[in-house]
Amino acid sequence: MVAPLGPHDGEHLRTTLAMAGAAYLERRLAAMPKCTLGIGWGNTTATLADYFDGQSVTGKVEIVSLLGNLMLNVSMNPYIMAEKIARKLGASFYSIWAPVIAQTKERAEVFKSEPWIKDVLDIGRRADVILISIGEAAKSASIFKMGYLCHDDLQRLIAKGAVGDILCRYFDARGRIIDDEVQDRVIGIPLEAVCDPNKLVIGVAGGSSKVKAVHAALLKKYINVLVTDEVTAEDLLRRQD
């Protein structure tokens, strides 16, 4: 889905994509008698939750967070985003009460072994509809700006070929998962659970800085619906040649 072209600054682009994504998500949910909607995190996803209306959705929907919800930045917290949509739909909501990224692999395993977290992760893996942002491997990315990963993490990931992430899982220009300790520290569903042709996986992303990441996500079929802008769409089409 391509949103009409407007000013290409960050805030306007985010709002444009969020409005288009919210309308598309509602239209798809309205056609389903029941479903489980899994929600990731990101600036665009957070804005999308504000524009989501939900009044045309009459089926039974349950909402689940796909990542840990304990974050310093409340505005981007997956709990806040998912809770807004759940409230508008009158839906059940399952949250992961853990950090998005633990300090060590061992701490992440402790969190993931807790029964209530494990149960929510299982629900997330089974989600019929998944709404995600696509991040870039750059210091401007929210995950680095907010301090969840450090400069050394970024440099190491880039040296290994990382171009972007989905749900904090980093991949290279061909969409292949980067072998790095960060992957083991994430408290959330794996990308293997997203890459399923039977699921509706909606990626909302745009802007020149994210073209490589979006292209890789499409190549690996991590998403089967992309909500983006005209400039990004044209760039992606050129890369198919």
pLDDT of residue 148: 84
Per-residue pLDDT tens for 181-233? 999 999 999 999 998 999 999 999 999 999 999 999 999 999 999 999 999 99
pLDDT of residue 145: 81
Closest CA to 164 of 198, 225, 207: 207
pLDDT of residue 117: 96
pLDDT of residue 147: 81
190 burial (CB, 10 Å; 0-12 / 13-18 / 19+) is middle
Identify which has the larger pLDDT, 147 or 72: 147
Per-residue pLDDT tens for 129-150? 999 999 999 988 888 888 889 9
Rounded to 5 degrees, what are φ and ψ at 99? -65, 155
- The mean pLDDT value of the chain amounts to 92
pLDDT of residue 86: 95
Identify which has the larger pLDDT, 161 or 145: 161
Q: Domains in the chain, ordered, with CATH?
A: 2-239 (3.40.50.1360)
In eight-state DSSP terms, residue 72 is S
